[in-house]
């Protein structure tokens, strides 16, 4: 029995279940953590806490990409400053 191209697919079709069902139905919620109004792409169950995106990410310990980039930039600036201060210290040692 031949199955085509050895079981490997090339191009945009990667197989799996990828079908567009149109826009998702959003449901209005009040965040259980901060009380802010938000929308979620699922129907919340009664008695289960529901969080806005920010509180959900904070609860899970997820850092948004924009914040990660800012933190990385701050860390690189701090390391550059510490290298500069080390260079100044070594120059002053040479003068003594």
9-to-2, 13, 17, 28 alpha-carbon distances in Å: 15, 7, 15, 41
- Residues 1-53: tens digit of each pLDDT: 555 555 555 555 556 666 777 888 999 999 999 999 999 999 999 999 999 99
Range 61-66 average pLDDT: 80
Q: How far is CA 25 from the centre of its chain?
A: 23
Residue 81 has pLDDT above 70, yes or no: no
Q: Which residue has the tokens 């609860």?
A: 59
pLDDT value for 64: 75
pTM of the model: 0.47
DSSP structure class, residue 77: H
Range 60-83 average pLDDT: 70
């Amino acid at each position: 029995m031949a199955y085509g191209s050895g079981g490997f697919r090339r191009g945009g079709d990667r197989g799996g279940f990828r079908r567009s069902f149109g826009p998702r139905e959003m449901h209005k919620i009040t965040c259980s953590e901060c009380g802010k109004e938000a929308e979620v792409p699922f129907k919340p169950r009664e008695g289960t806490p529901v969080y806005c995106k920010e509180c959900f990410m904070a609860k899970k310990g997820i850092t948004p990409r924009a914040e990660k980039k800012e933190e990385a930039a701050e860390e690189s600036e701090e390391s550059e400053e510490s290298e500069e201060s080390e260079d100044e210290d070594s120059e002053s040692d040479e003068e003594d």
